[in-house]
Copies of this chain bind each other. A is one copy, B any other.
Amino acid sequence: MEKVKAAVVGASGYSGEELVALLARHPRVEIVAVTSRQSAGETVARVFPRLAGSALAGLKFIEPSVAALEKSGAETVFLALPHGLAAEFAGPLRQAGRQVVDLSADFRLKSAEVFAEFYGERHPAPDLLAESVYALPEILGHDALKGAGLLACPGCYPTSILVPLIPLLRGKLLDPASLVINSQSGVSGAGRKAEEALLFAECNESLRAYGAPKHRHLSEIEQELSAAAGCAVTVTFTPHLVPVTRGMISTIVATPVGRADAELVEAVWREAYRGRSFVRVVSHLPDSKHVTKTNFIDIAVREDQRTGRLLLFSALDNLGKGAASQAVQAFNLSQGWDETLGLI
């Protein structure tokens, strides 16, 4: 079975490491290059001791450059870089005919103005925005990703929020002005950055909101919710940092429209996600520990009959369905393969 030659750029972060681990086991992928500025020259086994003993163990990190990536023969390049930096690679790589799967925020927004508003800088490559696809597989038609050249993989918070909400907004079941969203993220979501606020002794036995009221992920959340609702949607979103390494849950409060109740919500979800392998409608309240190290997202609903509101719950792995494994899922679909390839 022929394999696609792939490279991972910025592989030394948490999402990058996860991507490398997933692609190393993927039956249709051959990793031909991994790049890391700080680890160039070192082997995968040394930088990621977890991967010692794997087929990739001896592969050496190289300095990131478009030339080196072209030379590697990579047909698909996964970018696990900070926003702003990803665009520097994406443009030349697309021009050279490479497929780009980008995990950063650079190509998620359709509007360069919104990017500038939320990221505080001019968009680095606005001409690529038209080509990019917001690669949340479950909200796209089944073949929508097939052949896509520039995949903009969603953020972790957006994934946890969009999967439960989009079918309900499309179906006009919720008042889009009523959405109040609280999310909790594990610390790996902040990246492998040597910052005091992310030290064990600062995060352990600590619970805290942060980034409120205007977290950057709001931009893509509202872009996609607005598209689903058919009108401009603005939401209240409060992220929290909690002491787990991996895991994310979201609790969404919404006012239903008309007769929308829990039963209808579940029915709409099941219909919307029929045939999709990674969305699980569950009857219990989702627990992040049931989805860590998987590509699943668990969703559930409760009626708050006393206030007439609906409560929606989701759980995913911020490095899995919220980042690396979802990127692989989207890549699978872009190649015309089963979305579960290498993921189950």
Contact = CB atoms under 8 A, between A and B. Distances in A.
Interface string A158-197: 0000000000000000000000101010111000111110
B49 A208 contact: no
A150 interface: no
A337 interface: no
Most buried by B among A248, A253, A278, A289: A289
A238 interface: yes
Interface in A276-300: 277-278, 280, 282, 284-294, 296, 298
Contact of A212 (B207, B212, B302): B302
13 contacts: A14-B201, A49-B282, A50-B291, A187-B200, A194-B194, A199-B199, A204-B243, A206-B244, A206-B288, A207-B248, A207-B249, A238-B251, A293-B293
- Identify the 8 closest CB pairs spanning chains A and B, nearest first: A213-B304, A200-B203, A206-B289, A182-B182, A208-B287, A187-B200, A207-B288, A49-B290
Interface of A: 14, 25, 49-50, 52-54, 180, 182, 184, 186-188, 192-196, 198-210, 212-214, 218, 234-236, 238, 240, 242-249, 251, 253, 277-278, 280, 282, 284-294, 296, 298, 302-307, 309, 311, 313, 315, 344
